[in-house]
Structure 1
Amino acid sequence: MFIRKPSALVAQAVCAGAIATVIGTATPASAQTNVPCSASALFTAIANANTSGGGSLVLAPGCTYRLSSPLPDITSTIAINARHSTITRVSTTSFGILSVSPSGNLALTDATITNGDAPDFGGGIANRGTLTVTDSAIRNNHANFSGGIGGGSGTTTRIVRTSIMGNTANVNGGGVANDGNMTISNSRIIDNTAGGAGGGAANDGTLRIVDTNVNENSAGRAGGVANFGGGTTSITSSNVNSNAALVAPGGVLNAGGVVTLQSSRVKGNQPTNCAGSDIPVPNCVG
C-alpha cells in the first residue's frame, strides 16, 4: 500500500483510440441545480445534494470558485458539469479540492482543479468511492501521495480526455496514484513530479493506461510509471517518453506484480527506459 491506514490508499498530442472497459458513472437522482459563482454556493449545493441522495450541479460558466475551506465530501451520487470553471484553494490551510467518500459517486466534467494541497493523498481529487473525470484539467496540486488524483483500495476511478499536469507528490504518484481499479484513456499525464517513484503514475492495484501520453514527468525512480506489490499495470497504445529519474529506470518500473506494454512506445527516458527495473518489463528496450 502507498498510504497508511485506515483508508488503505495510495498511492505531446494525445493518441486517438477507444476503451472497452465499462465503469459505472454517476446518475443523479434529483433535479439539476445551477450553482452561482461563489465558493459558499458550491459548498451548499454539494451539501444539499448529499442530503437529497444525489443531484446534478451545473456551475457558472468560466467561473473561478475560490475555496478558503474544504468542500463537503461527496457522499451520494453527484454529477458536476463545471462548464469550463475552475475550483481552486486560496487558503493557507492545506486541503484537497474534492473528496469522494466510500458511499460517493462523482462524475466531474469540464473542470479545472488546481492548487489543492492535501496532507495525505489526492491533492486534486481523493477518491474513496467511485469517480469519473471527463474533459478536465487536474493541474498544480500537491499531496504526500498522488498529487493530482488518488484512488484508494476498493475504489473505481475513470479518467477520460483529461490533462493531469504539474502536480507533485512528496512520495509516490506525482500525477496519479492508485490502490484500486483505475482506467486512464485518451489523456495526458505530463510534467508531474514525485519525490519517491512514479512521477506520472504509481500503482499497486489495477491500472489501465490507454491512448494516453505519459511524458516529461520526473521522480526519484521511474519518472513515468511505477508498479508495486501485487499491482497490475497495462499500457496500451500509449507513449511513455522523455521522463526522468535520479535512479534507473526513468520510464517504467515494475517493483512487483505485472506490467504489460501493448502497441506502446517507451522512448527517450533518462537514465534508462526500463533497464534497472526490479522485474523486467516485456517489450521495453533500453
Structure 2
Amino acid sequence: NSDGGGTLSLAEKCTYTLTANQDGNGLPEIVQPITIHGNGATIARAANADQFRFFEVGTGGDLKLRHLTLTRGKSSAAFEEGGAINVVAGGRLDLDHTTLHNNSTDDIESDQGGAIYNEGITTIRNSTLSKNSGYDGGAIANEYGKLEIETSKFTGNVSGDYAGAILNEYGTTTIRKSLFDYNYAEDGGAVYSYDGLTEIEKSVFKYNVAEYGGAIYHSADSFHLRESTVAYNTAYYDGGGLYLEDSATIENSKIYGNTATAQQGGGVYISLPGSQEVAIRRTVISGNQAPGNGQTGGGIYIGTGDLVTLTDVKVTDNTSDEPAGGIHNDGTVTTYGKIKIIDNVPTNCTGSTNPVPNCFG
C-alpha cells in the first residue's frame, strides 16, 4: 500500500498461518492495486487465533489473487460480513485459480457472505468455493455490487437463510459456465435473487437442497437462465428446481429429475404478483416429481392469475400425486411453436383450473 501498489509472489505450495487480528482482518486493508501470486500456497487462520477475515478491499483497492487458497477465515462480531474477503463499494476483487474453503461469518444467524461479501466489483474465474457458510449467501453475498463468475465451482456451501452459494440482492450478478452442487439453504439451495439483475448461462445446478427453490429462488426484479441444466435438486416444499416469484426468462435449458417433496412444482414453481410474466422457450422439463399427498404440478405449477408463455417447450414424464402431473395451471398460459406435453402422470394438464393450449389428457 505504501508504495502505491505492487505484486507479491508467495513460496510455492507453502502454508502461511495468520495469528493476529488487525481491525477484523488478518492482513492490512487493501487500498491500492495489489496482485498476489500464490503459486499453489495457502493462507489460513490459525485454529486458536481470534476471529478475522483475511482481506478487506477498501475504496481504491484492487486486489488480484492467483493460484491461492484461503481457508478458515471467520469474520468477527464487530466486522460481520465476509468470512474471507470484504469488498466495499469502491473496491475491486479479481480471483483466478483461487480456492476459498471452509470460511464462515461469525454468527450464522445474521451475517452475510460466508466467503465473500461484495458491494464493489468482483470477478471470479477458474476458481472453487467450497464448504463456506453464512446466514445469507453461504459462499457469496452480493449487495448493490457487480459480480461476474465464469468457469468456477460452488460445492457444499451452506446458508442459514437465503442462498446456499450466491445471494444477489440489489446488485448485478452474471454467472457463466459454472457448476453448483450440494449447496443448501432454506430458500434457494444454490442461488437466491432479489431486487437485482441475475443472468445465468451455460451452467449446471445439481443436487442442491432447500425448503423452497431447490436450486434457484428468484424473488424480485430481473432473472434470465439460458443454456443451463437444473437437475436432481430437491425442495422440501415448493419448486424442486426453480421457484419463480417475479418476471423471468428460461430458454434453451434442461430441467429434469427435480423433486418438490411435500408440495408443488417439482420442476418449476411459479407464483407472480401483479402483471409479471414468465417466458419459457426451447426448454425440456422432464422427470420431475411432486409426490406429496394431494400435490400437483410435477413438471410446472402455475399460480392463480399468473401469466406464462411457452415456446417450443417439452414437458414429459413428470409425476405428481394428484392431477395435473405435467402442468398445473391456475393462471393463463399462451403457447407458441411446437409444444409437446405428453406421458405425464396422472395427467398431462387435465385437472388444472384453466386449460393449457395444445395440451391434452
**TM-score grouping bracket, smaller chain normalisation:** 0.7 to 0.9
Distance 1:171 1:123 in 2: 12
Query: Is 2:306 the counterpart of 1:243?
Result: no
Where does 1:39-188 land on structure 2 (aligned, <5 Å)? 39=101, 46-47=116-117, 50-51=118-119, 53-60=120-127, 63=128, 65-69=130-134, 70-75=138-143, 76-81=145-150, 83=151, 85-89=152-156, 96-101=164-169, 103-119=170-186, 121-128=187-194, 129-152=196-219, 154-188=220-254
Distance 2:147 2:97 in 1: 13
Q: Mark the structure with the bigger radius of gyration.
A: 2
Post-superposition offset of 1:91? 6.2
- Show the counterpart of 1:222: 297
Amino acid across the alignment from 2:192: A
Post-superposition offset of 1:243? 0.4
What is the SS of the residue equivalent to 2:200? strand
Distance change in 2, residues 1:258/1:280 (3 Å): same
Root mean square deviation of aligned Cα: 2.4
- Show the counterpart of 1:7: none
Query: Is 2:327 the counterpart of 1:261?
Result: no
Q: Which has the higher contact order (CA 8 A, sep 6+)?
A: 1
Superposed CA deviations along residues 32-87 of structure 1, whole A, max 9, x for unmatched, are 4425123369969843xx24x22322233xx4633254224111111111x2x321
Distance 1:93 1:230 in 2: 32
- Of 262, 268, 276 in structure 2, the residue corresponding to residue 201 of structure 1 is 268
Amino acid across the alignment from 1:209: I
Post-superposition offset of 1:89? 1.7
CA contact (8 A) 2:140 2:165 kept: no
Superposed CA deviations along residues 11-36 of structure 1, whole A, max 9, x for unmatched, are xxxxxxxxxxxxxxxxxx95744251
Using the TM superposition, name which of 199-208 and 236-245 deviates more: 199-208
Superposed CA deviations along residues 122-177 of structure 1, whole A, max 9, x for unmatched, are 1111111221111111111111211111110x321101111000111122111101
What is the SS of the residue equivalent to 1:282? coil
Task: Give TM-score scaled by structure 1 length.
Answer: 0.79
Distance 1:282 1:273 in 2: 12
Structure 2: state its 5+ residue gaps: 1-90, 105-112
CA contact (8 A) 2:202 2:228 kept: yes
Post-superposition offset of 1:184? 0.8
CA contact (8 A) 1:159 1:185 kept: yes
Structure 1: state its 5+ residue gaps: 1-28
Distance change in 2, residues 1:207/1:163 (3 Å): same
Distance 1:130 1:279 in 2: 31
What is the SS of the residue equivalent to 1:74? strand
Amino acid across the alignment from 2:287: E
Q: Percent identity?
A: 26
Distance change in 2, residues 1:279/1:106 (3 Å): same
Post-superposition offset of 1:237? 0.5
Distance 1:172 1:209 in 2: 19
Amino acid across the alignment from 2:334: T
Distance change in 2, residues 1:176/1:44 (3 Å): closer
Distance 1:185 1:163 in 2: 11
- Show the counterpart of 2:98: 36
- Show the counterpart of 1:232: 307
Task: Give TM-score scaled by structure 2 length.
Answer: 0.63
What is the SS of the residue equivalent to 1:37? strand
Distance 1:89 1:35 in 2: 18
Distance change in 2, residues 1:174/1:91 (3 Å): closer
Distance 2:251 2:269 in 1: 16
